[in-house]
Amino acid sequence: MKAFIVYCHPSEDSFTRHVRDAFIKGIVDSGNEYILSDLYKMNFKADMTEKEYLRDANYRDTPDIAEDVLAEHEKINSADAIVFIYPVFWTEAPAKLVGWFDRVWSYGFAYGENRKMKMLKKGLILCSAGNPLERLEEFGLFDSMKKVMLGDRLFNRVEQAEFVVFTSTSRENALREKNWDSYLQTAYEKGKKLFNSK
């Protein structure tokens, strides 16, 4: 089976990059396949054009979709699962990933009466956050992040969805080093068991 990984981080010198690599190793070790969109390396254009906005805002299922968006559509429909790996910036995914959703979740593909996006077996979010879990929960930020990703973006597009956040990963936090190996083992196991039936 195949996983489509959407990875978004501006630096290769990051904990999130290690999460990506551990997850991919798990996928490969399980005998499955993956395809990767590294949005920064691809220089993916995050800004929606006026033409794209008017197409979606007026619910027009027309074929005039940008080539880079069509390429992402093809990757999605060639996969059995979709996985998002990213750092949390201000309780949200990086702007480039938000823009990916703005453009790739287009009318007629991700939503609409005759959407062309297949129903995927699994949807998985692996994100890293600088804040500790207690702080994210105290201010309702953890629930907000989950609702946006699971309740809006993945919603009825996957059969099973899971949200995993690796907390206290900011560089000055002592827990970053303490949890490093266990977090990466979790990412590896998520990759290795992605297609296990529950």
Interval 163-188 mean pLDDT: 89
Which architecture, in CATH terms, is 2-192? 3-Layer(aba) Sandwich (3.40)
Domain ranges for the chain: 2-192
In percent, the amount of the chain with pLDDT more than 70 equals 99
pLDDT at 177: 83
* pLDDT tens-digit readout, 2-16: 999 999 999 999 999
Q: Is the pLDDT of residue 147 over 70?
A: yes
Q: Is the pLDDT of residue 67 over 80?
A: yes
Mean pLDDT of the chain: 95
pLDDT at 165: 96
Who contacts 20 (Cβ-Cβ below 8 Å, separation ≥6)?
5, 7, 9, 85, 187
Interval 92-114 mean pLDDT: 97
Q: Is the pLDDT of residue 176 over 90?
A: no
Q: What is the 3-state secondary structure (H, E, C) of 12-28?
A: CCCHHHHHHHHHHHHHH
pLDDT at 162: 97
